[in-house]
Amino acid sequence: MDQSTITIDVHLDDNKVPDSIYWKASDTTIESSQIAKAMMLAFWDGADKTVLRIDLWTKDMMVDEMTDFIYQVMISMADSYERATNQKELGADIKKFAQSFYHKFRDQQLKRNTNPEAKK
């Protein structure tokens, strides 16, 4: 049986806030660890029917980067859901929500950047 290992190293500051996140996979040609500003890891517990999650982001991750990250995660989830269930309509609904979320954020940013009163 083949085995693959993924290693995640999280470097913390004195307040235990992630400074940096590095990951490495054994099934790749890339020899060095890769750096990331954020990660989401989810495991399905079939016995309890619950999700066990680890969500981390570094303190230098900007709000617009987090929005891009969440948007891309939602699109990826929609693709995974479609592949696993063949429920194309529901996958499209997830993508539609993700696009709405993304556009709403961009509209809010534009208003804040063009209207000084909106920043309060």
Q: How many CB atoms lie within 10 A of CB 77?
A: 16
**Do 70 and 51 share a domain, yes or no?**
no
pLDDT digits (tens, 9 = 90+) for 47-102: 999 999 999 999 999 999 999 999 999 999 999 999 999 999 999 999 999 999 99
Reported as a pLDDT band with limits 50, 70 and 90, residue 120 is: low
Tokens for 16, please give them.
């235990």
Would you say residue 24 has pLDDT above 80?
yes
**Do 95 and 111 share a domain, yes or no?**
yes
| 3-class SS shares of the chain: helix, strand, coil, % to 5 | 45, 30, 25
Rounded to whole angstroms, how far apart are CA atoms 56 and 40?
7
As a dihedral over the C-alpha atoms of residue 106, residue 111, residue 117, residue 120, rounded to 10 degrees, the angle is -10
| Residue ranges making up the domain that contains 115 | 62-120
**Do 3 and 16 share a domain, yes or no?**
yes
Tell me which residue has tokens 């230098």: 60
User: What residue spans of the chain are helical by DSSP H?
Assistant: 63-85, 88-114
**Do 76 and 47 share a domain, yes or no?**
no
Reported as a pLDDT band with limits 50, 70 and 90, residue 112 is: confident
Q: How many CB atoms lie within 10 A of CB 74?
A: 17
Rounded to whole angstroms, how far apart are CA atoms 56 and 9?
11
**Do 91 and 50 share a domain, yes or no?**
no
Tokens for 103, please give them.
């556009």
**Do 40 and 89 share a domain, yes or no?**
no
- By residue count, the chain amounts to 120
pLDDT for the residue numbered 29: 85
The pTM of the full predicted model, rounded to 2 decimals, is: 0.85
pLDDT for the residue numbered 85: 98
Q: Between residues 49 and 114, which one has the greater pLDDT? A: 49
Tokens for 18, please give them.
């992630």
